[in-house]
Structure 1
């Protein structure tokens, strides 16, 4: 790994319409080839932070902070054209619902060809070959047939593999995976995580894995950051966070992990509202 991070965020805040603060002074770094997990309950600000990296927030969002760099580019000063150039080569995203990622009206190959709009030198045949190779790398059987298929002809797990193939076709430095296994069954979830580990080892892509499933984070990540009410409240190596959590919110999250709950009759812990608001200050 090099010393320069792919993603370098320092005390960044995101506010909507100057009133609702969704992210408060968050700092986060992702090094080349590293897999960093971002965990927290729904509404903690994980996806807002991820979408800000690619310029996908609503126009009412206001971003401020000391530093927010992606592949050396200052995102705090970036305009829409800058983000358009960054999407793909610098960073790509895999969203949580593969069924909503693709248009049902067009074949898979047609839609993936649009991802290669920057490539003005390759012929249509060469682009088709590149897409089929990417589908094969994503573990899709008979990729030639899938190229001509419509999204509704593929299962959710297969479509998520197509999403990963689409994201990696542009060889991004950072892959942002926003709850990529939430809509999948346990068997397909295991296959997708295995695929992402393989791709990381083979391509060296850095991954920001966003999830509320702690088992997913434990299986694939090197480091993990815990997000509560828009703030990072704890960060460290996965082994340390899971074995010796220091923050009460992290301990509560671990206590709520279903795979760790032995007594199905016991009440799960809850974070008091005043504790949540204190963390947001």
Structure 2
């Protein structure tokens, strides 16, 4: 009797042990299934497919990509060279595509950017980082950017305007000089003609005076005063013919 009771007790112990073992196995299996299901339901991070590698400091930075969930919120992170990190949000469309454009210019330097997907209150793991550089392609004046191309164009236009102004100045003064020169030549010619007529008249008068003295010499001996007067007339005639008329003749080629 005691032997049968002992056998039953051992049998019950074994059954209880098998039950505990089965329950433990079922618990482990359930935990594994739950963990696997949790892994399968983790949100995939958004992919960055559009970002400029080199951008000028006068250009607006942008980034875009695709997400696994349409109509979801995409959080974009931007980290500067000094380590400061900014975040912005965008929303994916019905195809899961998303795009973000920054609202201001970025300073020169190397940047990093990545994105996360937010569905409800759950966040995906951070997506892969992308790097890009903002290069100095414009002159920065406060919050304004003036591209070097625009600066060169402005300088070229300013130089062109200066050349046009200089050409206009030279043309105006050249034309004014030419008009004045033509007027001066005209006045010189008129003065030359008047001087020539006056000298011709003077030469004729001197010749007549000399001829008159010659007639007197034929009739009588000239006085000392008349001799001096005749010599002076001859000298004046020589001065008029050989010097004054020659100087007037030399003016014509000089003003031509």
TM-score (norm 2): 0.17
Higher helix share: 2
TM-score (norm 1): 0.16
Higher relative contact order (CA 8 A, sep 6+): 1
If you compute each CA radius of gyration, which structure gives the higher value, 1 or 2?
2
